[in-house]
Amino acid sequence: MSAVEHLHQKETVLLDREQLKTLYLQLDPIGADKMVNQSLEDLAVCLAQIKKMHLGGQAEEARHEIRSLLAIARKLGMTTLARICRDALDLVGGSDGIGCQAVLARLNRVGEGSLIAVWDLQDMSV
């Protein structure tokens, strides 16, 4: 009998700190914090909606949420997440179901990691 191995996925999350710095320079610190926090909330909602819509077979709705997530990722300088969003847009609703599942799982992992990375940056001076 063979043993089942559990692979622990660890993703490297890349942030463009200059993008965040620019946001804080364009807005006052309080306004920037509000905007970033709202964007992080929206990002978490998008991740949940994408999963729900994909599981429900609502490909076009999932693609709409992925585009919203992509806009948030670009605004906050989440370069890895933005790249995976583009990959997901290519696969959702297509014929490669296994590839789509893999990319959406990665999107979720990197999305959660990106949330944590930005929260950590907010605790430090941007």
pLDDT at site 126:
45
Low-confidence ranges of the chain (pLDDT < 70): 1, 6-7, 122-126
Across-strand partners of 15?
Answer: 78
**End-to-end C-alpha distance for the chain, whole angstroms:** 53
Q: What is the pTM of this model?
A: 0.86
What residue ranges do the domains of the chain occupy? Answer: 31-123
- pLDDT tens digits, 84-113: 999 999 999 999 999 999 999 999 999 999
pLDDT of the residue at 123: 64
Cα separation, 122 vs 105, in Å, equals 26
1.20.120, 2.60.40, 2.60.420, 1.10.3470: CATH of 31-123: 1.20.120
Residues 6+ apart with CB under 8 A from 123: none
Provide the pLDDT for residue 121.
Answer: 76
Q: Is 77 helix (H, G, I), strand (E, B) or coil?
A: coil
